[in-house]
A and B are shown apart, each in its own frame.
Chain A
Amino acid sequence: DIQMTQSPSSLSASVGDRVTISCRASQSISSSLNWYQQKPGKAPKLLIYAASSLQSGVPSRFSGSGSGTDFTLTISSLQPEDFATYYCHQSYSIPPWTFGQGTKLEIK
C-alpha cells in the first residue's frame, strides 16, 4: 500500500501568514494527490484535486503543487476561517487509497 506522510503534524500561525504543508508519498503517484480541510464535527471539504486544481468555490489563496512523490499545499494569506486540520489523500491507480495523518493548523 502507498503510505502518505504529512509534515508538520501541527503548525501555529497568525492571520495573514503564508503557510505551507507538505505531503510525501512512499512511491510515485503521478498527480493523483488531493487536499482536504476538516473542521471539528464536520465532514472533510475538498480544496485541491489532481495536485494543483482548485475545487470550485474554494478561495484562490489555496494552491497546490507537486508531482511524483512530493506535494505541497500553500495558503497565501491565512484567514480566521482557515484554522482547521488538513489532509492529503492519494487516489492513484487501484485502491487502497490513503490519507496522510493530518496537519492541525492552529492560531498563534
Chain B
Amino acid sequence: EVHLVESGGGLIQPGGSLRLSCAVSGFTVSSNYMSWVRQAPGKGLEWVSVIYSGGSTYYAASVKGRFTISRDNSKNTLYLQMNSLRAEDTAVYYCARERVPSDWGQGTLVTVSS
C-alpha cells in the first residue's frame, strides 16, 4: 500500500529556513516523479516543484532560487528546503507522486509570521 507522510512544518519567522520531509512507503521515490504542491489558507492549489526520476528539478517562479527539492534514496524520502521564507509562503504543503498525482500525503502546515 502506498503512503506519503509529510513532516517538518511549523511556525517560522520571515527570512528563516525550514526543511520539509516526505517519507514514502509502497513505492520507490527514485523511480517516480515527486512533487510538492501547496495551498495557502482558504486559497487554491499551487504547484511548487518537481524532481524527475532522472534527477532533473523544476520550480514555480514564486519559489525559484529560494526552495530546493531533493531526495534521499536510502531513506526513500523527499525533501523541500525552504530558505528566505516570506509571509506568502504560509500554506499547507503536500507531497505527491507522479506527473499526474494520484497519491498525496496529508500535508504539513508552514506558517511564516513574526
Contact = CB atoms under 8 A, between A and B. Distances in A.
Given A87-B45, A99-B44, A102-B45, A43 B50 contact: no
A55 B47 contact: no
A38 B47 contact: no
B59 A43 contact: no
Given A43-B94, A44-B104, A46-B100, A96 B45 contact: no
Nearest to A56: B102
A94 B58 contact: yes
Interface of A: 1, 34, 36, 38, 43-44, 46, 49-50, 55, 85, 87, 89, 91, 94-102
Interface residues of B, number: 19
What are the 6 A-B residue pairs with the smallest beta carbon separation, nearest first? A95-B58, A43-B104, A102-B44, A99-B45, A46-B102, A49-B100
Contact of B50 (A44, A87, A97, A101): A97
A1 B104 contact: no
Most chain A CB within a 10 A radius of its CB, from B46, B61, B100, B101: B100
Contact of A87 (B44, B61, B105): B44
Given A1-B61, A43-B107, A99 B100 contact: no
Interface string B89-114: 00000100001111011110000000
Given A91-B100, A95-B58, A43 B105 contact: yes
B2 interface: no
A96 B48 CA distance: 8
B45 A36 contact: yes
A55 B102 contact: yes
Nearest to B35: A97
Contacts of B44: 85, 87, 99-102
B11 interface: no
A38 B45 contact: yes
A36 to B, nearest CB: 7
Most chain A CB within a 10 A radius of its CB, from B50, B59, B101: B101
